């Protein structure tokens, strides 16, 4: 359940075929997903979106790091102090993805909720880097790479399912054509020592037990954000 939830949540294109192949690939006909990032709390309903997150199919190539079948890209606006153009200041953040680990028919509140965390850093120049899971980032510590490691794409703010889930988690995801859905939020990473890409919450239990990725405030929501227009 834990491993399936990781891949199912991150595979936002919804039709990922992960089966038993050595390198996970996309099922023919897979789609794309694009989400707006709304700065939270909403300061003005007329303000622009603070960025976007998009996922699309990306096949693995022999001799190169596996992809898990998808690549996700983030675009985060800079914080320029304009309430109509919200953005994010330099610092450490974490993407908080919620879904169900019980398959496409189950509700997330049915006892199988899985939350996946993916960490990122925005530098002083406003460049974003998403951090790959410890097991595949190629830094020589805890590496368990499937043939080839996949280090952080410094300054590009994107990641593959393989980088986010780590090895071998990404290989044990949902079956072909299984759709998934979830809630996507951007938080401040208030505990970088105990919040890493690939950490999860399984029905409320952190894995690993020391994981602490929800200590920071929610700063952005993706998808739809409602606000009241005051008279």
**pLDDT above 70 coverage of the chain, percent:** 69
In the predicted structure, residue 224 carries a pLDDT above the cut 60: no
Whole-angstrom Cα distance, residue 131 to residue 123?
13
Q: Which residues contact 203 (CB under 8 A, 6 or more apart)?
A: 111, 112, 113, 114
Which one, of 214, 215, 65, lies nearest residue 143 by Cα? Answer: 65
The label of the residue with tokens 């294109």 reads: 13
Given the DSSP bridges, would you call strands 183-188 and 91-100 parallel, antiparallel or unpaired? antiparallel
Asked whether the beta carbons of 26 and 7 are under 8 A apart, the reply is no
Residue of 22, 42, 18, 34 whose CA lies nearest to 230: 42
What 8-state DSSP symbol labels residue 29? T
pLDDT at 229 over 80: no
Residues 54, 33 contacting (CB under 8 angstroms): yes
Per-residue pLDDT at 28: 47
pTM, two decimals, is: 0.77
pLDDT at 52 over 70: yes
Structure tokens at 158: 């994107």
| Average pLDDT of the chain, as a whole number | 77
Q: How far apart are the first and last CA of the chain?
A: 48
Q: Where are the domains of the chain?
A: 2-222
Quick one: pLDDT band at residue 125, thresholds 50, 70, 90? very high
Specify the pLDDT at position 171: 55
Percent of the chain with pLDDT over 90: 36
Confidence of residue 177 (pLDDT cuts 50, 70, 90): very low
Q: Given this model, what pLDDT does residue 194 score?
A: 97
Q: Which residues of 76-95 are buried (b: 16+ CB within 10 A; e: fewer)?
A: bbbbeeeeeebbbeebbbbb
Phi and psi at residue 161, to the nearest 5°: -60, -35
pLDDT at 101 exceeding the cut of 80: no
């Amino acid at each position: 359940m834990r491993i399936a939830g990781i891949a199912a949540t991150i595979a936002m294109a919804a039709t990922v075929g992960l089966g038993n192949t050595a390198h996970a690939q996309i099922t023919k006909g897979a789609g794309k997903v694009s989400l707006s990032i709304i700065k939270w709390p909403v300061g003005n309903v007329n303000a622009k979106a603070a960025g976007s997150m998009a996922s699309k199919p990306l096949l693995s190539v022999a001799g190169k790091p596996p992809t898990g079948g998808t690549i996700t890209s983030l675009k985060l606006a800079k914080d320029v102090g304009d309430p109509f153009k919200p953005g994010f200041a330099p610092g450490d953040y974490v993407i908080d993805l919620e879904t169900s680990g019980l398959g496409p028919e189950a509700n997330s509140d049915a006892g199988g909720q899985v939350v996946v965390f993916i960490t990122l850093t925005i530098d002083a120049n406003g460049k974003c880097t998403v951090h790959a899971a410890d097991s595949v980032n190629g830094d020589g510590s805890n590496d368990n790479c499937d043939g080839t490691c996949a280090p952080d794409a410094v300054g590009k703010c994107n990641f593959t399912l393989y980088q986010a889930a780590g090895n071998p988690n990404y290989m044990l995801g949902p079956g072909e054509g299984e759709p998934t859905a979830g809630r996507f939020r951007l938080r401040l990473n208030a505990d970088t020592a105990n919040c890493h890409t690939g950490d999860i919450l399984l029905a409320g239990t952190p894995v690993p037990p020391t994981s602490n990725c929800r200590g920071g405030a929610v700063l952005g929501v993706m998808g739809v954000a409602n606000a009241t227009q005051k008279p």
